[in-house]
Every structure is written in C-alpha cells, then in structure tokens.
A and B are shown apart, each in its own frame.
Chain A
C-alpha cells in the first residue's frame, strides 16, 4: 500500500468519525432535558435577560436558537457552517463566535498541556532509564512508587495537594486565577505527575527489554563502556515505543485539562466545554467537541506516521496496531 493511499484512507476514516461524533453529540443534546432558554431562565434568573420582559425575550430567543425549526435542519445548518470552520455565535456568549472562543481558550489549555508534557519528558526519561539500569534497586522501587502515585491520583487531586502546600502552608502561590506566568506553576505541576508516570513506566520497561537485545549484549561484549552502550545503543531504540504514547498523552492532556482549569479557575477551552454542556449551548458544545475529537484523531495519525518513519519494520507490516500485536509474540527471556 502506497503512502498516499494509506493517508487517504486514514483521512476518510477521520471524516467519518467526526461526522459520527457530531451526530452523537447533537442527538444527545436533543435528548437532554431542557433547552438553552429554559436553563438560562432557571439558573441565571432574569438577570441574564436584562431584568424585565423575560417571557418576550424567551420567545425572541426561541427563533434565534433554532427552537422553531426541526432538529435535523438545525443540525444541517450547523454542519454546513462547521465544514468551513464557522460554528456561528455561542448561545451563552452571544457576542462571540464559537471558533473565536476556541481560538481564545485553546492556546491557554494547549500551553499548560505542552509545558506539562515537555517537563514530564525531561523528568521521565532519566528516571525511567535509571530505574531500568538499576533494576530492583531502591531507586527503581522509588520510581515505581512515583509511577503508582501518578497513575492513581487524578490531576485535580494533585492540584489540591499543591494548593494545600504552596498556598496554605508556604503562602507563595495564588490558589486560582489567570493573571501572569506564576499562575501557571501549580496547574502545570498538577498536570505533570500523570504523564510522567505513564512515560517513565514505558521508558523503564522498554529500556529493560532493549538491554536484553543481542546488539546491546554484543556492544557490551566488545568492551564498550556501559554508559556509552546505554546512551548510544539502548536508549535510542528504546525511545521509539514512547512515540506511540506521546500522541494520545498530549491529546488527552489538552482535553483533560478541564478539571485543572475548573480547580484553578483558568479560562481554558475545557472549562468552556463543561459550561456549554451544562447550559445546553449547542454551537459551543458541538464546536468544542468536534475540535477535541479532531485534535485527538490528528494526534493519533501523526503518531502513526512518525512511528512508521522511525521504525521501517512497521511500514512493512502496514500500521502500528499490527506491529504492536506482533511484538507481543517474540520469545522473551525470563528475568
């Protein structure tokens, strides 16, 4: 299969999946009790509608929010705009188009996510390698403990612990808000632990596996210094599988920042999504859901392509998933 056919197929699948995501989200939103106008009336009260004349306003809004046309037409109208990256104005923030909200909120989410991933790579690779080289040493057990902490504690709980420590005990960092670089420290730290754990676990087990490969044994047998063999021969090859986790990790971080954003009251995109769901803001919810799904799928595609580039064996096998499956089978030496 040529590269272009492969790419074409993948892009086709992405388009189909995005359509499915949009249909599922729209249908679910239609099934949800209450519409935007109702929710606004109940939760925000008359204040949202300028104090008086609520009933008239609600009627006027009904046509603006498309409640007077059938749902399928509402969906088609939205999707017609969506394919040209025009999601229309949000219900809740009527002065802003959804794509503008995305353009505002996403960089904030992406910034903390990217810094978090970069930091966790910087931490995870050395400790993963060190733990693998010193297998079963106290350093290894310490790393495994850190990994357990990182997998067990959700990022917002880490955030709470950080708040308790930095804000309450030391009194050095602001507990919430978004008004300068130092507001980023705790959210980023809260996000770092999870990915670090995932990455360190992969680096460690991948390194352990590579260290048993014949070419590493051969390099050691030829009398190469252990550190050189580890850095030049083993590390490089053991980092290839890391690429596969990096994509999904980055994507899930970008979307998963929602809890950290809620905890630290950061105006990122995740927070908008949660608000949109709660207030039945159709364009905003659909727009953000499609955007998140698009990021996730693009990340997976890029990862597959990069992986194929790094390891020619996978290209021959026709895809990452098949490679991963076949990799399970080679005889592994008992430790």
Chain B
C-alpha cells in the first residue's frame, strides 16, 4: 500500500531525464532521497518480521517462564529479559509488531475503501447526495476521532478485527474530503466529457477516468495515516481499550512498563524504542512519497 512497485521498463531512462510516466519519475525522486529509501527498506524488514513472527520469535507470546520473572537484559534464553509473568520480551515485541502492523494496514485499507466510495459518489453525483454525504463527514469531523474510536471499540469488542475496524471507521473523513475535492477538479475536464459522450457509465467514468487522478494524493495521505494508525492502536491499548490480552500490543507493554519503571526499566524502554523507530521509519517513507509527488518546489 505505501510502497511503489518498480516497473523496470519505465525506470530505464530516468538518469537521462527522460522518464516516461509520472509514476516512474516519482519513484526516481523517491530513490534519490536516501533517508526515505533506507526507511522503506527498514519498513519492509518490519513487515517481513511481522509476517514471519511465529518462526522468528523464540517463544509464543503468552508462554510463561515461572523461573524467570522480570529477568533483566541478557538473561540466557531471554536475551531481552522477561516481564512480570515471565514472558519473553523479545517474542512479545515481535508479536506486538504483528498486532500493530495488522491493525494499521487493515484500518487504512478499510478507511481508504470508505473514503473512496463516499468521496467519489459525493463529488461525482453532486447535488443532494453530495450535501448528504458531506453532512455526514461534517458530523464525523465534529467527533474527535480518538474518542470515536474509543466508543467503537466498546461496541465491537476488543478483538484484533474490532480494533482495526474502529480505527479505520474513525479515520476516513480527511481522505473522503480529499477524494471529493479531486473529483471536483477533474470532473469537468475534456477527457471526462469525452468519455461521457461516448456513453461510458457513471461507474466507469468515476473508477477509470476520475479515480486515477486521486491516487497520488491518496498515496501521500495514506502513507502518513499508517503511522497514525499504529499510534492509535497503541494508544487504545494504553487506555486499556486495545486488543484483548494476552495478545501483545506495544501500548499495553508500555502501560505495564510504567508500573515497574524502577525495578525493570527495560520493560518500558524496549517497546517505547521499537515503537518510536517504527513510527519514524514509516513517517520518513511518507515524507519521501510526498516529496516525490510534489513537483511545486522545495518549500513544502
């Protein structure tokens, strides 16, 4: 979702400055941004780690070791120590990563689908439909999104899917507005007019002719929404409203860590550090994508 796949044929002449498509030029600019490129590789590693968690983690996330409670760093068998119940921190961090990424990517996919549906219909059909749908987004705008997510989680329970949906449903508004604005700017262009005159249906026009124009800006907002969703997941867990224990979440690990800050500071330090690194990497990728698509100058 947040990555751009390279098309070998299209990137061939970038160095000579004769890139063929908008996308290949954006990708060339992205690659030239070293921080963004390294971050992208790091994010890729994180995603692979999350997918392969059961094979990488030495223990299951709920497996307790009664002989090694609150073990410090470097304990044999538990390199990063254990928590109060004797659960391996390294394994829980990796499973926490899995939770965070699953929730974040799922939530953004859900919110993207809702945003595109609502934004497209509001912008394309216009009139009453537009007013109605924008009325809904106005109400959603008035509802602080974190608070809405909190209410939704209480309704849907605290399963992985529920948390994912709650974050997704509470974060589509900005993107829906973006899609609508994009639709309005291209709706009256000649090529859309041409498609309409050839008898293309409303669905075809919006999906094939209008939507592709919105993909660039949507990619940018989505790439920033991913770290925000990771933060929201951990935030809910911090409040005790996130994914149901014993499924690990960095938020609940941080919350537990604050209770043993003097006895076992690594319980707080490790999840916080990994969390911060992950968020920064995803944000740098987002920065890179934004700069790659922004051709207006240096100042944004």
Q: List residues of A whose CB falls within 8 A of some B CB.
A: 13, 16-18, 20-21, 24-25, 28-29, 31-33, 132, 135-136, 148-149, 151-154, 156-157, 160-161, 163-164, 167-168, 175-176, 204-205, 208-209, 251-252, 255-256, 258-259, 262-263, 273-274, 277-278, 280, 285, 289, 292-293, 296-297, 325, 332-335
- Complex-state Cα separation, A31 to B143, whole angstroms: 19
- Complex-state Cα separation, A16 to B141, whole angstroms: 13
In the bound complex, residues from chain B placing their C-beta under 8 Å from that of A259 are 146, 235, 238-239
**How many whole Å from A239's CB to the nearest CB in chain B?**
17
Assess whether B194 is interfacial by the CB under 8 Å rule. Answer: no
Q: Are B279 and A152 in contact (CB under 8 A)?
A: yes
In the bound complex, residues from chain B placing their C-beta under 8 Å from that of A18 are 142
User: Residue on B with the closest CB to A254?
Assistant: B144
Given contacts A274-B150, A325-B181, contact A156 B142 (CB under 8 A): no
A contact face: mostly helix, strand, loop, or mixed: helix
Q: Are B234 and A154 in contact (CB under 8 A)?
A: yes
Interface string of B218-241 (1 = CB under 8 A from A): 000000100100010011001111
Interface string of B266-285 (1 = CB under 8 A from A): 00110010011001101110
Q: Are B299 and A335 in contact (CB under 8 A)?
A: yes
Assess whether B139 is interfacial by the CB under 8 Å rule. Answer: yes
User: Residue on A with the closest CB to B231?
Assistant: A154
Flag the segment in B93-101, B152-160, B200-208 that touches A. Answer: B152-160
In the complex, 28 of the A-B residue pairs with CB atoms within 8 angstroms, ordered by the A residue number, are A20-B139, A21-B143, A25-B151, A135-B299, A148-B283, A152-B279, A154-B279, A156-B238, A157-B234, A157-B276, A161-B276, A164-B269, A175-B258, A204-B299, A205-B299, A255-B146, A258-B146, A258-B147, A263-B258, A273-B150, A277-B153, A278-B240, A278-B241, A285-B151, A289-B143, A289-B147, A293-B143, A296-B144
Given contacts A25-B151, A135-B298, contact A262 B239 (CB under 8 A): yes
Listed residue (A160, A258, A334) with the most chain B CB atoms within 10 angstroms of its CB? A160
In the bound complex, residues from chain B placing their C-beta under 8 Å from that of A161 are 272, 276
- Complex-state Cα separation, A33 to B150, whole angstroms: 14
User: Residue on A with the closest CB to B227?
Assistant: A152
- Complex-state Cα separation, A25 to B149, whole angstroms: 11
Q: Are A289 and B151 in contact (CB under 8 A)?
A: yes
Assess whether B262 is interfacial by the CB under 8 Å rule. Answer: yes
- Complex-state Cα separation, A20 to B132, whole angstroms: 13
In the bound complex, residues from chain B placing their C-beta under 8 Å from that of A156 are 235, 238, 254
In the bound complex, residues from chain A placing their C-beta under 8 Å from that of B238 are 156, 259, 262-263
User: Residue on A with the closest CB to B271?
Assistant: A160
Listed residue (B139, B153, B157, B224) with the most chain A CB atoms within 10 angstroms of its CB? B139
Assess whether B34 is interfacial by the CB under 8 Å rule. Answer: no
**How many whole Å from A7's CB to the nearest CB in chain B?**
17
**How many whole Å from A36's CB to the nearest CB in chain B?**
12
**How many whole Å from B222's CB to the nearest CB in chain A?**
15
In the bound complex, residues from chain B placing their C-beta under 8 Å from that of A148 are 280, 283-284, 287
Given contacts A33-B157, A135-B299, contact A28 B152 (CB under 8 A): yes
B contact face: mostly helix, strand, loop, or mixed: helix
Q: Are A335 and B272 in contact (CB under 8 A)?
A: no
Q: List residues of B whose CB falls within 8 A of some A CB.
A: 135, 138-139, 141-144, 146-147, 150-155, 157, 181, 224, 227, 231, 234-235, 238-241, 254-255, 257-258, 261-262, 265, 268-269, 272, 275-276, 279-280, 282-284, 287, 296-300
Given contacts A157-B272, A274-B241, contact A152 B283 (CB under 8 A): yes
**How many whole Å from A164's CB to the nearest CB in chain B?**
6
Partner of B296, one of A277, A325, A332: A332
- Complex-state Cα separation, A108 to B147, whole angstroms: 18
User: Residue on B with the closest CB to A25?
Assistant: B151
User: Residue on B with the closest CB to A30?
Assistant: B155
Given contacts A153-B276, A259-B239, contact A31 B155 (CB under 8 A): yes
In the bound complex, residues from chain A placing their C-beta under 8 Å from that of B151 are 25, 28-29, 277, 285, 289
- Complex-state Cα separation, A136 to B254, whole angstroms: 37
User: Residue on B with the closest CB to A255?
Assistant: B144
User: Residue on B with the closest CB to A132?
Assistant: B299
**How many whole Å from B137's CB to the nearest CB in chain A?**
11
Q: Are A258 and B155 in contact (CB under 8 A)?
A: no
**How many whole Å from A266's CB to the nearest CB in chain B?**
13
In the bound complex, residues from chain B placing their C-beta under 8 Å from that of A31 are 155
**How many whole Å from A32's CB to the nearest CB in chain B?**
4
- Complex-state Cα separation, A153 to B235, whole angstroms: 11
- Complex-state Cα separation, A304 to B159, whole angstroms: 40
Q: Are A332 and B283 in contact (CB under 8 A)?
A: no
In the bound complex, residues from chain A placing their C-beta under 8 Å from that of B135 are 16
**How many whole Å from B38's CB to the nearest CB in chain A?**
14
- Complex-state Cα separation, A208 to B297, whole angstroms: 11
Known: A161-B272, A274-B240. 19 other contacts (CB 8 A): A13-B138, A16-B135, A17-B142, A18-B142, A28-B155, A135-B298, A152-B276, A157-B272, A160-B254, A163-B268, A175-B258, A205-B299, A258-B147, A258-B239, A277-B150, A296-B141, A332-B296, A334-B297, A335-B299
In the bound complex, residues from chain A placing their C-beta under 8 Å from that of B262 are 168
